[in-house]
Amino acid sequence: MSRRWITERRREPYHRMAKEQGYRSRAAFKLKQLNSRFGFLDGARYVLDMGAAPGGWLQVAREVVGDRGLVVGVDLESVKPLGLNNVMTIVGDVTDGETLKQIIRLFPGKVDVVLSDLAPNVSGVWDVDHLRQIDLSRIALMLSEKLLKPEGWFVVKVFQGFEYNMFLEEVKSTFSFVKVVKPKASRKASAEIYLVAGNLRNFRK
């Protein structure tokens, strides 16, 4: 990690805002901006956050859900306790069937929102990193079909690249509402983009 990268990160406004407002990461503002536009967390009771560490999205989801629901985060890394009631975390791999069983056990039924900020460990080889990230996004899409209510929402980070358009069509074939958004809190140079999707076309009971 270079000194230049650390210096630029400290100067970055959303990084400063996250520290000042007590959020675990600058990514919290991405979710805030997306929800401000689409309102997918408004009125939600049950929220699943995949790729949850270090916990910024969990904090934002809990703020909106309040005391009445449940927010569950899943990540390969442990999330330092947030000190928030009705926020639970699982250390696990979303590609593992046992992790899915744990998720299902925690929720009393179908969930309102599935969030995916999943990303692979970056290798530095763009084509490889892009394919790995799209694979994770496809897994998140598959799980959203299993876990969501028919009117539920799916919000997923995607790396733009040669597989992006194909994945976008897969999301459109799964949900009747799909929007492509790059929140202001995303770095301009970043290849990440977010898909906000709602209303399952083929609901699974």
Strands in the chain per DSSP E? 46-50, 70-75, 87-91, 111-116, 148-159, 175-181, 192-200
First to last CA, the chain: 47
100-147 pLDDT, tens digit each: 999 999 999 999 999 999 998 888 888 899 999 999 999 999 999 999
What's the rounded Cα separation, in Å, for the pair 89 and 93?
A: 12
Q: Residue 48 in contact with residue 115, Cβ under 8 Å?
A: yes
64-104 pLDDT, tens digit each: 999 889 999 999 999 999 988 899 999 999 999 999 999 99
Which residues belong to the active site? 157
pLDDT at 158 over 70: yes
User: What average pLDDT does range 159-177 have in this prediction?
Assistant: 96
User: What domains can you pick out in the chain, each with its CATH number?
Assistant: 24-200 (3.40.50.150)
Angle at 169 between CA 177 and CA 119, to 5 degrees: 90
pLDDT of residue 122: 80
- The pTM score is 0.90
